[in-house]
Each structure stands twice: as structure tokens, then as C-alpha cells.
Amino acid sequence: MTKIEQIITNLNLKPHPEGGYFKETYRSEGEINENSLDSNYIGKRNYSTCIYFLLTSNMFSSFHKIKQDEIWHFYEGSPIRLYTISERGKLSEFIIGRDIANGQSPQLIVPAKHWFAARVINENDYSLVGCTVSPGFDFNDFELAKRKKLISKFPQHKQIIKELTIE
Ligand code: GUN
């Protein structure tokens, strides 16, 4: 088994629809009622959830968005380059990693409703991170970008959208 296969097996990771592999490690027992959430949510949600998320150099996390902020925590492997596009179309780029002296962040916050995508920086490598959200994750709050639609919304970012979406 390769190191990547070992991590996938030991942490029981499964393919994620956005790309990469994940395993939910925490889902709070506590719940928030629909009437205590903002109007974007339908139904109740757990207070918070957390996942392991693994990306390899030959795949990427495709542009998607969720309704809540997402906190990324770097664990090991290559640093990750993560792109966000705000609702108003501002593109930002961050490096998640441990080399703080060179501008990398061990933690990164992706704001709610921003489109975001990520890839491993090193070749033939992997990145293992954690992703925490509150309210807790629900696939009803998750939207995977359609390439054509996202390019027509943000034509100024055509190149990066083309690279980091599945058709
Ligand atoms: N649970 C399943 N998929 C996801 C995801 O993309 N992010 C978070 N935070 N939790 C998830």
C-alpha cells in the first residue's frame, strides 16, 4: 500500500463529490431549530460538524459553495492552494500549510457563500486537512459549480474556473 492508500484505509475516507476523500469525524448531538437559523436554511441543523479531507496531486477540490463559514485546519503533507470567489466576484488565493514564515496559514476561514476550490501544491504528494462548519454540514447546503454557469457569472475568472471545475 502507498502512504496515501494507508491514510485512506486507516481513516476510512470515502470519495467526496467535490473531489478528494473525506470522513465525518464529529457531528454534535445538539441541534439548531429552523426558526433559529437564518432564512437560507430549510430544516434543522446540528450545531457543528467536522471532517478529515484528503486531496492528492492528481485531483482537486472543485469549485463549490456552502451556506456557512468553513474552517480548514492543516494536518500534514503538501501545502494547499485554495481559491475563493466572493458573491461580488472578488478572487482571492491562500496557501494552507505550516510554513508560517513564508505566508502559509495552518488555519483558513472560507466565508459563507463564497465559491471555493483547492489543489495540492507539490507534485506526487497529498494534503490532509480538517474542515469544520457550524451550523453542521448538510448536503442541502452544498452546491457544486457547473463550469459554464460559473464562467458566465464571473467571466473575468474563466481560466481558474476552467482548471478547477468538472464539466
Ligand atoms: N461533510 C461532507 N462534506 C463536507 C464538506 O465538504 N465540508 C464539511 N465541512 N463537511 C462535510
Model confidence pLDDT, tens digit, residues 120-144 = 999 999 999 999 999 999 999 999 9
Give the pLDDT mean for 45-74: 98
Task: Determine the distance separating the centroid of ligand 1 and the alpha carbon of 137, expressed in angstroms.
Answer: 6
| Structural domain containing residue 148 | 3-163
CATH number for the domain that contains residue 37 = 2.60.120.10
Using a pLDDT cut of 90, give the percent of the chain over it. Answer: 99
At 34, the pLDDT band (50, 70, 90 cuts) reads very high
Task: Determine the distance separating the centroid of ligand 1 and the alpha carbon of 103, expressed in angstroms.
Answer: 26
Task: Give how many domains the chain has, as a whole number.
Answer: 1
Pocket test for ligand 1, best of 131, 132, 134, 138 (most atoms within 8 A of CB): 131
Distance CA 57, CA 12 (A): 20
- C-alpha angle 159/163/167, rounded to 5°? 110
pLDDT of residue 60: 98
Distance CA 167, CA 164 (A): 10
Q: Which residues line the pocket of ligand 1, CB cutoff 6 A?
A: 16, 22, 24, 49, 51, 70, 131, 133, 137
Asked if pLDDT for residue 167 goes beyond 90, the answer is no
At 76, the pLDDT band (50, 70, 90 cuts) reads very high
3-class DSSP state for residue 160?
helix
